[in-house]
Amino acid sequence: MISYGRQHIDEDDIQAVVDCLRSSALTQGPMVAKFEQSVAGYVGARFAVAVSSGTAALHLAAIAAGVKLGNAILTSPITFVATSNAALYAGGTPLFADVDAETVNISPAEIERMLAKHPEIKVISPVHFSGLPCNMVAIKQLADNAGAVIVEDAAHALGSRYADGSLVGNCKYSLMTVFSFHPVKSITTGEGGMITTNDEATYRKLLRLRSHGINKEADTYQLPKNAQTNGVPNSWYYEMQELGFHYRITDIQCALGVSQMNKLDAFVSRRCALAKRYDAALAGSKLIRPAQIAGRNHSAHHLYPVRIDFAAAGTTRAVFMADLRRRGVITQVHYIPVTLQPFYQQMGFVNADYPQANAYYAQALSLPLYVDLTDAQHESVIALLLEMLG
């Protein structure tokens, strides 16, 4: 079966994990910092904090951004539920701004409309859907004018570049950027996530929140008299200074992450080549088109989302996907608009308020795209699609 996405693991990766297993530290050893330095150095951010998942990263970022009861996080309805759930975890409210029809990314015009109506918006979380960076220049301008903070959801976008060519995650437009290392993402650690930032206070807070709210830095103890006995430091001493979580990632996972980072550029360039081949091969069909056309050289191409006019093709998506699966090709839909989820409907969200998200969802399909997809497999997927769409 050819899947819509999957990881690439080679002997180097396996050896890196084995080496870690033979070492003395399975968690909280040297690999966590090494992985953090590798990602921060790659994207060009001052600091990085690795955590157990992208969802944990979004949760901590929401708290570090100051979200609480009475605040809202504004994001896109075309995302994984984790993006908006982060607002709820932190005690705030999620809000949605519709997407732009041509990019499937959050629309700056819709952000502006929502900011005018909702002064409680404290954080804007643009999602770089499928790896295509959002219009961050416009979004930063809007956030600055409204006094809001930006937390980028770059779960799809490790290796993506903004319009100016710099790497997503450098936080030139945001307070924090969040990545995910789930197996279908640009690189994997099995499960895992990371937050990058250039702000030292935010970095220190994220470190505490990742580990129960505990601080071990002697210069920032709140009760320094408890940290020593007659002038001799109490070596066992630590302070829980706020309510945090256990969101740590293991050294085993980070060993894999460090090894995967060595291949990130090669991964992105293979994904980009496959995306461009799809673009060219599908260009002749009236029934199928890439969901995003901009930024082909700037996206990390986490997914290859297309829009298919299923009605004009005389079928439905359910039948089309089942036929593909019968013939060995697994596709997926990214995403059911979050506002269509029963939980969000019960909160009062009305799906019709997001017409572009709905129009996209009606036609959306993610085609196979991953590093190990061979040219021959890719050709066969393209031939099958064109045959099925007449």
Interface contacts to ligand PLP, rule CB under 6 A:
53-55, 79-80, 82-83, 127, 153, 155-156, 180, 182, 193
CA distance 274 to 383: 14
Of 127 and 150, which CB lies nearer to ligand PLP in the complex structure?
Answer: 127
Is 296:275 a contact under the CB 8 Å cutoff?
yes
Q: Are 95 and 353 in contact (CB under 8 A)?
A: no
For residue 71, the minimal CB distance to ligand PLP (Å) is 20
In the complex, minimum distance from the CB of residue 193 to ligand PLP, in angstroms, rounded to a whole number:
5
Residue 185 or 208: the one with the smaller Cβ distance to ligand PLP is 185
The Cα 170–Cα 57 span in angstroms is 16
Confirm if 181 and 192 have CB atoms less than 8 A apart: yes
Residue closer to ligand PLP, measured from CB, 31 or 106: 106
Please give the helix or strand (H or E) that residue 93 lies within, else none.
strand 93-96
Q: State the Cα–Cα distance between residues 385 and 278, nearest whole angstrom.
A: 11
As measured in angstroms, the least distance from the Cβ of 119 to ligand PLP is: 26
Measured from the CB atom, the residue of 125 and 215 that comes closer to ligand PLP is 125
- Checking DSSP bridges between strand 232-233 and strand 228-229, what pairing results, if any? antiparallel
- Least distance to ligand PLP from the beta carbon of 11, Å? 25
Shortest separation between residue 242's beta carbon and ligand PLP, angstroms:
23
Nearer to ligand PLP, 180 or 356 (CB): 180
Pick 51 or 288: Cβ nearer ligand PLP: 51
Least distance (Å) between residue 162 CB and ligand PLP: 17
Q: How many CB atoms lie within 10 A of CB 287?
A: 21
Q: Taking CB positions, which residue lies at the least distance from ligand PLP?
A: 54
How many whole angstroms separate alpha carbon 91 and alpha carbon 331? 35
Minimum Å gap between C-beta 388 and ligand PLP is 27
Q: Which helix (H) or strand (E) holds 34?
A: helix 30-43
Distance CA 358, CA 354 (A): 6
For strands 232-233 and 149-153, give the pairing: unpaired
Give helix then strand counts, H and E, for the chain.
13, 14
User: Which residue number, 87 or 287, has a Cβ lying nearer to ligand PLP?
Assistant: 87
Are 339 and 353 contacting, i.e. CB atoms less than 8 angstroms apart?
yes
